Structure 1
Amino acid sequence: MGEEAEMGVGTLLIFIAMILVAAVAAGVLVQTAYVLQQQAESTGDQALMEVATGFRILAAYGMTNLSVPEVTDLYIKITLAAGSPVINLEHVIIEVTNGDTDVSLAYNLTGSDVGYFGATQIRDTYPTNDWTTGEPGMTQGDIALIHVNLSANSLSLASQQQADLLIIPKHGIPTYLSVVAPSVLSNTYENLT
């Protein structure tokens, strides 16, 4: 009887050891699945940000210097694309080319300096105001007016001349805009869209 009891205890110990090994293996599998899930969610969030983030152009105007007949300043009315998260204009670059000169512009308050563009908030959507002097953030429904001083950046836009702009957020899809100055520049402000 003692020998059978010893075999039973030995079998029980082996059974308990197998359960412990299975539990450890299950724990490793659960941990691996959790890590993979977190990585997949992070990748999905990044992909969504890259696809959904961007601007939509509502209008583009040019301010003209009638004595020289050329467009000296561009004003671009923008809003966020559908589904876009908040975009801080401090992290946006605007590339402008007129065929002769290419410039890359960063944000500053006035937009009148060389190498910079400015922006003014036209409409803020309640209840979130992400637009402050140092942090010009745009949320869904907001409208901003971007100012590009062409003459300060050695660019000009004579009659029937084309300029191409690329508005590039830190993450997301760049927004392309092509404007052509009218054949006759007779107004202080010309519609370029």
Structure 2
Amino acid sequence: MARERSSLRDNTSAQIGIGTLIIFIAMVLIAAVAASVLIQTSGVLQQMAHATGKQATQEVSSNLVLKSIEGIRAKNSSTSMAQNISLLKMKVGLNVGSSPVDLNQLVISVSDGTNYNDLIYGNNEKLYGILMSDFSSNSSADTNLEKLLTSTQASPGDNAAYFFTVSKIRDEDVSFSQGSPIMNTGDLATIYVSTVSGGDLGYTTIGPIATHSSQKASGLYIGPRTTINLVFTPEAGTITIAELVTPSSYGIKETIKLYP
């Protein structure tokens, strides 16, 4: 029987030692740092994407919807009425899926084609540094409407040219008040904008309000065949624009349907 012979050969191709261990540990540390940076970055990007998506959704869905607009003429009696519209009565709601809208931050721009008013809610003191003259968050909507039509102050001037007021129609969650007019989906409210012209200051009544001939001019003139431009700009969300033309004659009507 042939004798089996074994031999050992030296393999000098591998590298073993402290240098290899150091390189391995360094690679592990670099991978750990890179992973940590990626995880942190992805978390920040996720938060930013969530916030951006939420803001984008709010901007698209949160807006007022005009239901109707009526014009009311000042009068002394059923046969003695102003030639121009003295008050705009606008019924508004919210778009489906809309976030809550704070009417205290709403800006309404109204133009008669020549004159232009930017109006804010009577309880907003941020723009002029003062509330609408004689406005009270504890008063009724009609009381504040009366003050809108009849009161004035040194700055900024007549309420009619700088402010608007609101009354609620439907408010199931009781989120709406004169001091904090918050609208949610399903709510309905009426926005009042004074359009009393300088030639119609002697009439005693405007809609439900007894003005006793003390109404103030708005600087607007809404006569027959007048183009009215309305822009509603909420704090967040899309703006609402309406352009309409008044009838060629008001006849003997006290209330004129303007929209739709």
Query: With structure 1 as the length reference, what TM-score do the two structures score?
Result: 0.88
Aligned AA (1:60): I
Measured after TM superposition, the shift of residue 47 of structure 1 is: 1.7
Equivalence for 1:139: 184
Aligned AA (1:190): I
1:100-136 alpha-carbon deviations (Å, 9 max, x no partner):
21010000153512300111111013xx332122210
1:48 aligns to 2:48 (yes or no): no
1:63 aligns to 2:81 (yes or no): no
Of 95, 116, 129 in structure 2, the residue corresponding to residue 81 of structure 1 is 95
CA–CA separation in structure 1 for the residues paired with 2:187 and 2:230: 21
SS in 1 for 2:256: strand
Between the two proteins, the alignment pairs up a number of residues equal to: 186
Say if 1:71 and 1:181, in contact at 8 Å, map to a contact too: no
Superposed CA RMSD in Å reads 1.9
Of 88, 107, 117 in structure 1, the residue corresponding to residue 164 of structure 2 is 117
SS in 1 for 2:58: helix
Say if 1:164 and 1:177, in contact at 8 Å, map to a contact too: yes
Equivalence for 2:193: 148
1:100 aligns to 2:114 (yes or no): yes
Equivalence for 1:169: 234
Structure with larger Rg: 2
Q: Percent identity?
A: 35
CA–CA separation in structure 2 for the residues paired with 1:11 and 1:132: 75
Query: With structure 2 as the length reference, what TM-score do the two structures score?
Result: 0.66
Structure having the larger proportion of residues in helix: 1
1:38 aligns to 2:65 (yes or no): no
Measured after TM superposition, the shift of residue 16 of structure 1 is: 3.1
Aligned AA (2:194): N
Structure having the larger proportion of residues in strand: 1
CA–CA separation in structure 2 for the residues paired with 1:181 and 1:64: 13
CA–CA separation in structure 2 for the residues paired with 1:180 and 1:72: 15
1:51-72 alpha-carbon deviations (Å, 9 max, x no partner):
1121111111111135332110
Equivalence for 1:20: 29
Name stretches of at least 5 consecutive residues in structure 2 with no aligned partner.
1-15, 75-79, 123-134, 136-143, 149-158, 197-216
Measured after TM superposition, the shift of residue 37 of structure 1 is: 1.6
